[in-house]
Structure 1
């Protein structure tokens, strides 16, 4: 008799945001806050790690690209319709400075690298890169720093704390994709590598990109091809792929190299999680609404908590005019399922054997075990703990019992999970008779 047991998902949650659009999302690990920018309302929404609203910072017109200072003390916000960069104290959530970037510049994206704050700007046909030098008493804004590369519109920007001298830029929404790497160690953006239409089959419609923490690899989310692809920042040579599905639109990389890769998930799970360097997802998330309507991941709508304890995702749904912040807890734990099998019937006081198997994309650690309990008969009450069964490396386990009570006996197996696995439960019912 087969008894499948589905592993419960991690205790994920969702909370409505007081905005209907968004541009960027970043996570402040020091104060355990999430920042979501909304250019339409000209605000930045601040939530805690559970998605609960802390504040909505207003009067930041066209709030777009977000970046945190190295100590997480300051949030930088590109003000697309304000032609400025805003600096916000992450403890008080008050603006402490605003630097004008010039009339009509429309700054779009921000990144901290090379001891400066970099920003992209410009309307169609006039994309460029600028910087804010924060080292002196008076911050200094410098424009026209795209170096040897020229951008049709304000490019996406990415940087990484592990290599603060690398700045990556990519043309958003453009087909084919155009991406470049700058060395900013000198204080100016020096061209290091450039690719047009990268990948074996080319790529188009760049929606998002992210660097690994050491700055050696950039992962792109492009509408085509139907996977997330990675490139070395040293020369933009291909460096692997992450198998997702159609219309990639978001990507985020954790400090340990784990990758959250998102797609426009109308026909497939929205978010796929990968260990660094692996091409097969360890788990996935589908943002289905209670009504049955599809909740869709927003472009550039993913961010990791710096301690990798959570992935945050901004989603939209036809059910609501407001966006939702999804909190995906324990993303490093792979989904685990359990099946249990035993005889349909067995004589009383006769030894019977129950077998089961755990299944997961991650291997099970040595000395893993499942707890076994028995429910049935007056002496069992609400259940009797019978002990544990050792889990083999392939997930299999065996348990033997000698029931002394006639009637239906239900055996329940529970795997508590560990740092790499969610918990799982399985059960099987055996009819115990008086026969010999």
Structure 2
């Protein structure tokens, strides 16, 4: 047995999302929670050049480029859809690109000195054609019934990144043709619907502004129909190509750009699509991209460390906000990241095949991922509640609810997102984990007096459909303040009177120390004394020389502010001569 079977592993680390206001936090669960099968096979290769999927025979082909020496052997490992190795195809010289014909009867393999052909039912060689020697590895794609391949010759493999590469074609009559298209670097090919061919250029010392191009391969001559470079007038924004793919209907082109993430382009003219895909998680660099054959899913591979996801499965529609399935690969059981060009789907979208590699790039794994085929309904029940019953500006408020799910329990906790809308606009609060019984608690510190509407959303995942948002409007009041005043029962006009006190304000801290108003009322009337500023610890002292005998009342007050109620306190002192 050469496969490891296990449940899929999500990015496991829970993140802390800082909330608006007072630094409260809510534990944020991973972004996807739907159950998905993940079978892993350790590949018998130390380098990787191509991945091809034969859905007709349920076979997966992985090529070991093994460049570096003329004497290096070639190897193509063959697996079934359950991750079991079926056989190994060995060649006298290194191999690189792979392509299947339209009915999956023939596997084309780019060899060092020619094009090799294998019967996909028996995996026996079916001849081929000698070509000019290729020392840098070929990229292959079948478009318009023709195999297109790249060819580059250098004296040293170290020169391959910027060597001149030619695009040629291999035909069913066992002849080759020069297309005339050429450029520098390891040009990458990808076939698309409607007899179209994509070619992309990775960055190199002789291509400061690499390109992506679309070709019409329906005729005898390969015709470019669209082309684009990405750098601006200052040379910024250039493409760092790792992979590219047509959507199944050909309307879009997705590009894995290690510098910009996932670029989504119009399939006709390569302009930016009106709506793009969300950014990859922070710390993840794009390495691969692939659409499922049924048009439902987009797989995005990345190079990331730790719990940062290396693989995301999302709806192919960029306007669908359903949360992705996320996989974090880390260690000897998984590999550490998705290899460039290491993603391919089965034709029906039931399986994704992902090649991962370790940090050193000398070990490889094949993952067979089965996204869930069924989606279940979700709903919020019983509305939202709050505590405390009176919301106060600058104080913690808990908004609670319950999410009900159809279908099986999720493999990992789901999460809901929340926003607060008040007079200052809409604010993202963060995320909250849904417990096993469906309950959740969102914590917030409202910072605006008046009405605040809380909206809780569940965006769904690949197993659960989004729920209709639930809202609750609360009235946020001012926070309380208080003055505690201490005075002697008796004082004299000659020695004076000293009062001490403490000022406290709940909710959000005051922007500056409070200044208290002091009034004195005696038998001669009421007058205002000098104001007193509260110390950093909230204390204050009032010293006064009374002007007459008998009872004197001191009143200390604070008017309040936008977020705090005012406060007042009084004390009466009997004054003697």
Q: TM-score scaled to structure 1, two decimals?
A: 0.70
Evaluate the alpha carbon distance shift between residue 188 and residue 305 of structure 1 in structure 2; reply closer, same or farther with a 3 A threshold: same
How far the C-alpha of 1:214 sits from its partner, in A, is 2.3
- The answer to whether structure 1 residue 39 and structure 2 residue 65 are counterparts is yes
RMSD: 3.7
Q: Contact 2:346/2:352 (CA < 8 Å) preserved in 1?
A: yes
Q: 1:192 aligns with which of 213, 225, 229?
A: 225
Q: Contact 2:100/2:142 (CA < 8 Å) preserved in 1?
A: yes
Q: Contact 2:325/2:462 (CA < 8 Å) preserved in 1?
A: no
How far the C-alpha of 1:269 sits from its partner, in A, is 0.4
Rg (Cα) greater in structure: 2
- The CA distance in 2 between the partners of 1:339 and 1:20, in whole Å, is 50
* Count of paired positions: 347
Evaluate the alpha carbon distance shift between residue 109 and residue 25 of structure 1 in structure 2; reply closer, same or farther with a 3 A threshold: same
Q: Describe the superposition over 1:96-128 as per-residue Cα deviations: whole angstroms up to 9, x where unpaired.
A: 122112245766111111221111112444212
Evaluate the alpha carbon distance shift between residue 413 and residue 116 of structure 1 in structure 2; reply closer, same or farther with a 3 A threshold: same
How far the C-alpha of 1:16 sits from its partner, in A, is 0.8
Q: Contact 2:335/2:356 (CA < 8 Å) preserved in 1?
A: no
Q: 1:119 aligns with which of 138, 149, 156?
A: 149
Q: Contact 2:108/2:117 (CA < 8 Å) preserved in 1?
A: yes
User: Where does residue 326 of structure 2 map in the other structure?
Assistant: 284
- The CA distance in 2 between the partners of 1:230 and 1:173, in whole Å, is 19
- The CA distance in 2 between the partners of 1:170 and 1:85, in whole Å, is 21
Evaluate the alpha carbon distance shift between residue 35 and residue 171 of structure 1 in structure 2; reply closer, same or farther with a 3 A threshold: same
Q: Describe the superposition over 1:1-52 as per-residue Cα deviations: whole angstroms up to 9, x where unpaired.
A: xxx9995732312111111211111111111111100011511000111211
Q: Describe the superposition over 1:356-395 as per-residue Cα deviations: whole angstroms up to 9, x where unpaired.
A: 415xxxxx8xxx4679xxxxxxxxxxxxxxxxxxxxxx9x
User: Where does residue 84 of structure 2 map in the other structure?
Assistant: 52
How far the C-alpha of 1:217 sits from its partner, in A, is 2.0
Mapping of residues 33-432 of structure 1, within 5 Å: 33-40=59-66, 41-59=73-91, 61-79=93-111, 82-104=112-134, 108-123=138-153, 124-134=162-172, 138-146=173-181, 150-160=182-192, 162-164=193-195, 166-174=196-204, 175-197=208-230, 202-225=237-260, 227-239=261-273, 240-242=275-277, 243-245=279-281, 246-257=284-295, 258-266=297-305, 268-278=308-318, 281-289=323-331, 295-317=336-358, 322-330=363-371, 356-358=402-404, 368=406, 420-421=462-463
Evaluate the alpha carbon distance shift between residue 190 and residue 282 of structure 1 in structure 2; reply closer, same or farther with a 3 A threshold: same
* Runs (5+) with no aligned partner, structure 1: 342-354, 359-363, 372-393, 395-410, 424-436
- The CA distance in 2 between the partners of 1:229 and 1:60, in whole Å, is 39
User: Where does residue 18 of structure 1 map in the other structure?
Assistant: 44
Evaluate the alpha carbon distance shift between residue 241 and residue 96 of structure 1 in structure 2; reply closer, same or farther with a 3 A threshold: same
Q: Contact 2:202/2:239 (CA < 8 Å) preserved in 1?
A: no
- The CA distance in 2 between the partners of 1:336 and 1:75, in whole Å, is 43
Evaluate the alpha carbon distance shift between residue 50 and residue 277 of structure 1 in structure 2; reply closer, same or farther with a 3 A threshold: same
- The CA distance in 2 between the partners of 1:122 and 1:73, in whole Å, is 28
- The CA distance in 1 between the partners of 2:95 and 2:372, in whole Å, is 29
Q: Contact 2:34/2:462 (CA < 8 Å) preserved in 1?
A: no
- The CA distance in 2 between the partners of 1:168 and 1:5, in whole Å, is 38
- The CA distance in 2 between the partners of 1:68 and 1:198, in whole Å, is 34
- The CA distance in 2 between the partners of 1:333 and 1:222, in whole Å, is 31
Q: Contact 2:179/2:222 (CA < 8 Å) preserved in 1?
A: no
Q: TM-score scaled to structure 2, two decimals?
A: 0.54
Evaluate the alpha carbon distance shift between residue 413 and residue 370 of structure 1 in structure 2; reply closer, same or farther with a 3 A threshold: farther
Q: Contact 2:325/2:461 (CA < 8 Å) preserved in 1?
A: no
Evaluate the alpha carbon distance shift between residue 141 and residue 202 of structure 1 in structure 2; reply closer, same or farther with a 3 A threshold: same
Evaluate the alpha carbon distance shift between residue 199 and residue 301 of structure 1 in structure 2; reply closer, same or farther with a 3 A threshold: farther
- The CA distance in 1 between the partners of 2:356 and 2:366, in whole Å, is 6
Q: Describe the superposition over 1:178-206 as per-residue Cα deviations: whole angstroms up to 9, x where unpaired.
A: 11111222221112111112699623321
- Partner secondary structure for residue 276 of structure 2: strand
Evaluate the alpha carbon distance shift between residue 422 and residue 28 of structure 1 in structure 2; reply closer, same or farther with a 3 A threshold: farther
Q: Contact 2:203/2:240 (CA < 8 Å) preserved in 1?
A: yes
Q: Contact 1:128/1:153 (CA < 8 Å) preserved in 2?
A: no
- Partner secondary structure for residue 65 of structure 1: strand
- The CA distance in 2 between the partners of 1:173 and 1:316, in whole Å, is 21
How far the C-alpha of 1:298 sits from its partner, in A, is 1.1
Evaluate the alpha carbon distance shift between residue 335 and residue 78 of structure 1 in structure 2; reply closer, same or farther with a 3 A threshold: farther
